[in-house]
Amino acid sequence: MKSMGAKGPYKAMFTDVDGEQGLTEAIYQRLSMKSAKSDIVVLCIGTDRSTGDSLGPLVGSYLSERAAPVRLFGTLENPVHAVNLAETTEHIQAQHPDAFTLAVDACLGQVSTVGQITLADGPLRPGAGVHKKLPAVGDAHITGIVNVGGFMEYFVLQNTRLHIVVKMAEVIGAAIAGATHELGAMERHRATAAAFVTESRPQRLSVFLRGRP
């Protein structure tokens, strides 16, 4: 089951046939509202030391391997987690102050929602599921429910099935890569069209003036 309101969150199970396409379109809609001169930052939060919490780094590595046109923070090799999140956030704010930031993280939920991917506007509050107070990050965020919450959260994350996490990461990574590549192509097309119009104006004016007595 999937849903997306006009300005509400997009939700889909990672097993939905058209879930990846729907997520790609929802991400593109949000990114297309940013300035063409603004960077896109994707901040993938989590650690490879915990199976359930490795969703973010897996997405980051997926995007890195596919050369997604984004400023990427958080991969399996260089994860962004509770220890370095504040420092990374400060770096992003200093180096990319006008960027549109999309944050990605794993979370816990109910039995019926395990495997659900959600894209929503506004900042992500990482660590809430394990009762940690960490900086809120992002202009929009994607979360993936990897397991059931409510009891012994750290133990649950450690014992989450890797298969589910990997498959969810593939859907999220493919959607972000697809949306950003499509947006990049659109912005290049617009820039080329604008340059053509600018260059052709003097030529048309010159022809007009030569035709005058």
The verdict on residue 205 lying in a domain is: no
- Count Cβ atoms below 10 Å from residue 134 Cβ, excluding itself: 18
Q: What is the mean pLDDT of the chain?
A: 87
Mean pLDDT of 19-31: 95
Return the percentage of the chain with pLDDT > 70, whole number.
83
The verdict on residue 7 lying in a domain is: yes
Task: Indicate the pairing of strand 3-4 with strand 10-13.
Answer: antiparallel
Mean pLDDT of 87-110: 95
Q: Count structural domains, the chain.
A: 1
Express each pLDDT in 173-209 by its tens digit.
999 999 999 998 887 766 566 555 555 556 555 555 5
CATH of the domain at 52: 3.40.50.1450
Express each pLDDT in 119-137 by its tens digit.
999 999 987 666 677 889 9
The verdict on residue 76 lying in a domain is: yes
Helix axes 55-65, 162-210, angle to 10 degrees: 40
3-class DSSP string for 116-183: EEEEEECCECCCHHHCCCCCCECCEEEEEEEEECCCCHHHHHHCCCHHHHHHHHHHHHHHHHHHHHHH
For residue 3, pLDDT over 50 is answered with no
* Host domain of residue 142: 3-188
The verdict on residue 13 lying in a domain is: yes
- pTM here? 0.85
Is the C-alpha dihedral spanning 159, 160, 166, 170 positive or negative?
A: negative
The verdict on residue 30 lying in a domain is: yes
